[in-house]
Structure 1
């Protein structure tokens, strides 16, 4: 029976790998085009097309029933020419090596766009935290830190929360790292609880960054937020906070969804009511009878569409049916390159993920700075600093797109990769 299960797992991994390979390959292709437009030689692409370091680990965890389960984890460090690498750790059953590698490259780009002193990193563990107990998650979190401890640290590689991880998991990881090093190391990881050196504003940072980008995008089209109809695909951390911010600002959130389906009301949904009833994984649609599919949700009549769920949601197959005039990507890779080109030709403004979702790493940087100096900022200070970074970043990307006559995704890649390329050049690597 176990051998059959193992074969099924292998087949499932292979199916998932195909999509991850496409994601990684498409990321490489855009980087190559961006470097070419910037005038860099081929060896720069050869350096930056792959992570400089990729670690695969096997983590034995004692489960509540007494059995030992072996989990596979990854840590990718794309490039540390600028400084230590930085990036989240995701717990998800569909994590793959190729996905983690691609996401570490995107983190390099985000840090370049926001001018942070980091290279990109990313981690992940193949698991389903929704089916694990609190104790099992703690043992897995600590086991991951033990497995990667030689290549991470406050001056090497700083992890953070990501899909299905949170401040509690970051606290366990920080505690385990501090035990291994035998001194308190709050700067090892960000996204921690406030009482353990976390920063005000970290939990909502990604959503706030997206909200700032929405406000800036509306300005380019002379639209008001209070008149906007918004659809948010995904009701997890980023999607739910964003829906609340938009609702509180007076916009009309007409559609939201989770993995099971979506809710739609042309007059605007009662977001506070939905937030009170969502579970910790962002599930809400199962409580309602009249739902729509995620595919239908993407094609709703609206002004702003925010994909805040998973990758490859807007493709060449449905891009021509998108009715929004502005798309702001809160998820990683929700729009394929073919769809990006179609949307651009249709005059739809697309704010790419590596810009729109950079609020998370920006406030993570603020947390790291506060940990290093032992002085902590108020919530208002954090929000003020985040707003300045995001507005400056948006304006730089938008102006670059206009100057080079490219879409905002290509402009963001050009800005994001230039800093690392220049740092590698000055170091004498290329």
Structure 2
């Protein structure tokens, strides 16, 4: 039964994993193509990613509430409620996306007050001015994806993401370097490439949901459910806000680590961008599996099936550990070779090779941590994990990293050691929290959605 549940979870998760890897590949491709211009452009991209990830992840947390409520309604076979929560979730996420994109654009001058290299800050401000508006179509796409994922129809978003990859590469090639009559726009060209690709991705997915036979009946057969509801918004926010805070606390910690790297110098920031980009790319596999696990557990939660929740959770944790170990082995073996793919500066390559050793450890710990967080979210255990993550990063991890890097002279390695310490404590505590089977089983009550 344990193996069967693991296989079912993997079946739901695999398209999500592929989609997440491809989506992050768009970011990784930008890093590769921008890195060929120069290390200051690479550092500027890293700085913007550090700043933009914080509000973006807050938006992603809001979109995650759609999958949770849709999957719970689907578990109770209530198709009208599925439509109702999708409509209200999309409206909520549209408002959140507009606020996030507009706020980033209006506040982009903060980049000049983060004690960064002057040229890096100038390049970053121009990049952010365009890139921030790509969050609007991206968050709307993710809302549609969360709806489909909540129904365990995970292949559509994956297929569209596959098509987006070559399109993004082609547009980047045109705009970054200047081909076919286009002027070379450099770093800003990468931002426009991302903006265009994300709008196409969202619009095509919207058409698929409206007209495909697997989805269209949720819009046509239940039109009376497509209306604003304060109660539905409140339920979505009860999940979305804690999820946003939970993710935001963690991502803010990593974003601050990027800013701290920039304070050490542009070489350290560029090396950190390479390593963190690769580490995050590999992490997307665990992240996608965590989403699939959470959706399956939320569906079982809708059915009040405690035994199934326990089996799904155990299988998910075991597979997360295996995946993390495989990624760690790859990073250990490739630590001296991977950095040269992104940049040709000898100092950047040397530092990045050293940091890849820390990134290898990161893979194991982060895989267990994200799956633990997600399966707990599936049983609506959100507040306590948020406190645990906050303490692990902000009371222990970041202060330790700052102390090692700036007071004890450990430099970039010190920041990574601090992050890994906080992440490790979080992973151990959260996985232990779920493994206490009696606690999980005893909290399950028939739920009203």
TM over 0.5: no
Larger RCO: 1 or 2 (CA < 8 Å, sep 6+): 2
- Relative to its length, the structure with more strand (as a share) is 1
- Relative to its length, the structure with more helix (as a share) is 2
TM-score (norm 1): 0.28
